[in-house]
């Protein structure tokens, strides 16, 4: 047999072996660390859906179990959820048909995961079995003076988180003079802790929600184009930065 014919025969044999070999499926992420019963809720906590993330395979992802009719009535996007999968950094991804991403929840503190859906707001997935009250902020941790800043280290307002209880179970809040115009316009009058987050409320019932940061401060969520940071202070801020903002 000529050399060229030998080479051709070898290539043909190799291709035949490749064709006969089974196609190795892409490894799935391990669901066991995140599979559990959760509570899905909106930021105000007045719309809730009980949801179980299962370790059982569902196509390329994993099975999810919940009352579709009841949940879709409370939280509309759940009507499109058909599966879930772990994501980077222990995030949780809720998926729809053909693997379309419906919402991605990033891990927070105290068994909470948070997701921001554009045009829809903030949602929380809470694993009650991981919620350790000892690791969550308590009201006594927040009593006292706090600085509010748009940029770290540049306070625009000082707030006093009081111990006086309000009619709705929160606590009174007072603003120091010369606060940021947007904060004054919002007019926070009370504060409370809710599912590990800090919530400031105005006299009109409007709210701002803050998530606890690793360094112990609080950051407004969603941040949007008007970030707001809260940090503990034992003295009034010096030379508050001027503000031309339109809102909190």
Q: What is the CATH number of the domain that holds 125?
A: 2.40.128.10
Out of 132, 147, 175, a domain closes at: 132
> Is the domain of 128 the same as that of 151?
no
Which carries the bigger pLDDT value, residue 181 or residue 22? 181
Task: Determine the structural domain holding residue 74 and report its residue range.
Answer: 36-132
Query: For residue 145, what pLDDT is reported?
Result: 95
pLDDT digits (tens, 9 = 90+) for 106-134: 987 778 899 999 888 899 998 877 766 66
For residues 141 and 218, state if they share a domain: yes
Judge whether 5 lies within some domain: no
- Checking DSSP bridges between strand 188-194 and strand 91-95, what pairing results, if any? unpaired
Q: Is residue 27 part of a domain?
A: no
Please give the Cα distance from 209 to 191 (Å, whole number). Answer: 10
pLDDT band at 7 (very low <50, low <70, confident <90, very high): very low
**Half-sphere exposure at residue 192, Cβ-oriented, CA atoms within 13 angstroms:** 14
pLDDT, position 6 = 46
In this prediction the pTM is 0.53
Beta-bridge partner residues of 209: 199, 221
Looking at the structure, do residues 127 and 159 belong to the same domain, yes or no? no
- Rounded Cα distance between 14 and 213, Å, is 57
Lowest mean pLDDT among 10-24, 59-73, 159-173, 201-215: 10-24
Residue 15 pLDDT: 44
pLDDT over 90, % of the chain: 47
196 and 228 within one domain: yes
Q: How many beta carbons lie within 10 A of that of residue 18, not counting itself?
A: 8
> Structurally, how many domains does the chain consist of?
2
* Rounded mean pLDDT, 76-102: 95
Q: Among 11-15, 151-155, 177-181, 244-248, whose mean pLDDT is lowest? A: 11-15
CB of 209 closer than 8 Å to CB of 186: no
CB 67: neighbour CB atoms within 10 A? Answer: 13
Q: How far is the CA of 150 from the CAs of 118, 160, 183, 218, 244, in angstroms?
A: 22, 18, 11, 12, 12
Output 173 or 248, whichever has higher pLDDT: 173
**What's the CA gap between 168 and 162, in Å, rounded?**
15
**Domain assignment present for 2:** no
Asked if residue 125 lies in contact with residue 92, where contact means CB atoms within 8 angstroms, the answer is yes
Band the pLDDT of 190: cuts 50, 70, 90: very high
pLDDT in tens, 128-174: 777 666 667 889 999 999 999 998 889 999 999 999 999 888 999 99
Q: What is the mean pLDDT of the chain?
A: 82
Q: Is 118 exposed, middle or buried (0-12, 13-18, 19+ CB in 10 A)?
A: exposed
| One-character DSSP codes across 86-107 | EEGGGEEEEE-GGG-EEEEEEE
pLDDT for position 221:
76
Query: What pLDDT sits at residue 69?
Result: 92
Same domain, yes or no: 126 and 199: no
CA distance 135 to 70: 32
Beta bridge partners of residue 160, listed in sequence order: 145, 174
Q: Which of 132, 164, 186 is the last residue of a domain?
A: 132
Rounded CA separation 161/233 (Å): 11
């Amino acid at each position: 047999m000529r050399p060229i014919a030998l080479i051709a025969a070898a290539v043909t044999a190799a291709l035949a072996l490749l064709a006969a070999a089974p196609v190795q499926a892409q490894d799935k992420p391990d669901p066991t660390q995140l599979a559990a019963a959760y509570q899905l809720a909106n930021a105000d906590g007045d719309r809730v859906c009980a949801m179980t993330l299962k370790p059982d395979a569902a196509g390329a992802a994993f099975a999810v179990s919940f009352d579709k009719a009841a949940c879709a009535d409370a939280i509309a996007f759940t009507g499109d959820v058909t599966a879930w999968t772990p994501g980077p950094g222990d995030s949780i991804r809720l998926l729809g048909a053909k693997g379309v991403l419906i919402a991605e929840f990033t891990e927070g503190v105290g068994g909470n995961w948070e997701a921001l859906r554009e045009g829809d707001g903030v949602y929380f997935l809470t694993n009650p079995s991981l919620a350790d009250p000892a690791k969550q902020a308590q009201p006594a941790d927040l009593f006292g003076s706090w600085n509010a800043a748009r940029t770290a280290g540049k306070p625009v307002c000082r707030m006093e988180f009081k111990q006086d209880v309000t009619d709705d179970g929160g606590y009174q809040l007072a603003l120091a003079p010369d606060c940021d115009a947007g904060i004054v316009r919002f007019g926070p009058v009370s504060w409370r802790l809710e599912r590990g987050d800090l919530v400031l409320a105005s006299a009109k019932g409007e709210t701002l929600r803050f998530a606890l940061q690793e360094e112990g401060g609080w950051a407004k969520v969603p941040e949007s184009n008007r970030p707001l940071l809260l940090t503990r202070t034992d003295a009034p801020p010096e030379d508050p930065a001027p503000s031309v903002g339109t809102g909190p």
